Amino acid sequence: DTGVSQDPRHKITKRGQNVTFRCDPISEHNRLYWYRQTLGQGPEFLTYFQNEAQLEKSRLLSDRFSAERPKGSFSTLEIQRTEQGDSAMYLCASSSWTSGSPGGELFFGEGSRLTVL
């Protein structure tokens, strides 16, 4: 499978614990994005990497959230001191901008669903 993969697919944790999600993008894609989707809503942008550089961060990304992409390949999203409001689906996407995809469309993974008890 050469698509975007995310791990774990599901995570249940208690309030106050830390969680980490991993995303492996499509190998030739240099751009990587994290989005959050709550039930019944569209995804909301969290952060964007081009190669290893984090170029954009949403105001939704509080100081409890940190994302890294250390070697410009896989990325991790860590949430510290989780709160019940963090319960959501965390989606990773990757893209490249080529003549074959002039819009640079995002290819999404299946998401990591977080439940905070």
Q: Does 109 bind another protein (CB under 8 A)?
A: yes
- Shortest Cβ 95–another protein spacing (Å): 6
Judged by CB under 8 A, the chain residues 20 through 59 that form the site for another protein are 31, 33, 40-45, 48, 50, 55-56
Please identify, using beta-carbon distances, which residue of 22 and 113 lies nearer to another protein.
Answer: 113
Please identify, using beta-carbon distances, which residue of 83 and 105 lies nearer to another protein.
Answer: 105
Is 31:94 a contact under the CB 8 Å cutoff?
A: yes
- Shortest Cβ 83–another protein spacing (Å): 23
- Shortest Cβ 47–another protein spacing (Å): 9
Binding mask 55-94 for another protein (x = CB under 8 A): xx--------------------------------x-x-x-
- Please select the residue that binds another protein; options are 70, 85, 100, 103, rule is CB under 8 A: 103
Helix (H, G, I), strand (E, B) or coil at 84: helix
User: For residues 34 and 11, what is the distance between their CA atoms, to the nearest angstrom?
Assistant: 17
Query: Does 70 sit behind a cis peptide bond, omega within 30 degrees of 0 on the bond before it?
Result: no
Tell me the residue ranges of DSSP E strands in 1-117: 5-7, 10-13, 19-24, 31-37, 44-50, 53-57, 65-68, 75-79, 88-95, 107-108, 112-116
